[in-house]
Each structure stands twice: as structure tokens, then as C-alpha cells.
Copies of this chain bind each other. A is one copy, B any other.
Amino acid sequence: MKKQPSSPQNAARYPVGFAPRTSIEQVEEGHEFAPKFGSDGLVACITSDAGSGEVLMLGYMNKEALEKTIITGEAHYWSRSREVIWHKGATSGLVQEVVEMRVDDDQDAIWLRVKVSGSGASCHVGYRSCFYRKVPIAAERANSDALMFVEHDKQFDPVEVYGDAPNPTIL
């Protein structure tokens, strides 16, 4: 990937240049961004709160969502249930401002550290994190294997925010 000229105009150049994947050394040890999109055209994206470190959600990005996130500095995903580009917060106002983007060793996963505006929630059910329930493991299962709620209060009322939009959860 060529070094960009140091002008803000060029920084916003679209589309973002993704490098072709040429060797394991290039992908793992190099400085070229060469993301690997799966057979479904998507790369997984972990999103955590930049302040607390709490994992907020796991989303997916297609090429366009990844480009938009890089250019705007706000998280965009591909909604697998609605099959559209999804600017997180466009409906709810809970925009995720990206503080840092990282990529993993084989470049098939993205990690975003974000600041969330408004109530700070990222989950369509109304909780701060989508991971609001704990699964008992090992000795914890002696008493019960039921899920335990780690968050007890919703940050917003989903009906108020999303109205009658279809629920993205698929059975």
C-alpha cells in the first residue's frame, strides 16, 4: 500500500486501498492492510468500550462497511439480518466513535475500541453490552446452569427507540 500524501483531502480518499494477500509473512508481519473477507464477503468485528474495555458487540463488515468506518471514524457494519449497510446509531442516536482500529494476525478480524454517544448503550435489546448474560462454567454449574444477567437495567426502551422495526435476532 502506498504511503498517502499528507493532506486531509487525500486521507478521505475513497475507496480505501486494501492490499492483495501475497504471503503469510506479508499478512502477519507486514505493514500492509490486506483484510480477508470470507466466502460471504464479510470480516468479523469485535467492538469494545474504549474506556472500560467491556466488549459491547460482535458485528460483521463487508468491504463497504469497513471502508466507511475507516473514512468516517464511525462504526459501520453489514447487517446480516436486514442485508444492508448499517451506520450504527443512525436510528438510535447511539453512534460509535472509533478511538482505535486494530487487525489480527491473519487479518480476518477487526477490533474497534469505541466511545458510544448518548446513553452509551450498543445493544438493540436496550443493554449497554450485547453480552449482558453470563454462562455458568465448570464448578459454577453445580448449583445451576441457567444464564445469569450481569446487567440488570436497560439503558433505553427498545420500543421507544426502534418502534415497530423488525427485530434483528433470527432463530
Binding site for B on A (CB under 8 A): 1, 3-4, 6-8, 10-12, 16-17, 21-24, 27-33, 36, 44, 46, 48, 52-55, 57-58, 69-73, 98, 100-106, 109-111, 123-125, 127, 130-148, 150, 167-171
Contacts and interface: CB of A to CB of B under 8 A. Distances in A.
4 shortest interchain CB distances as A-B pairs: A53-B53, A73-B138, A106-B169, A102-B131
Contact of A142 (B4, B33, B57): B4
A141 B111 CA distance: 18
- Which of A30, A58, A71 has the largest number of chain B CB atoms within 10 A? A58
A48 B69 CA distance: 23
Given A32-B147, A58-B109, A102-B131, 9 more contacts: A11-B139, A28-B169, A30-B147, A31-B133, A55-B111, A73-B139, A102-B134, A102-B135, A104-B131
Contacts of A98: 137-138
A145 B105 contact: no
- Assembly of this chain: how many copies? 2
Contact of A103 (B32, B54, B109, B131): B131
A64 to B, nearest CB: 15
A145 B16 CA distance: 9
A103 B16 CA distance: 33
B104 A57 contact: yes
Contact of A171 (B21, B130, B132, B141): B21
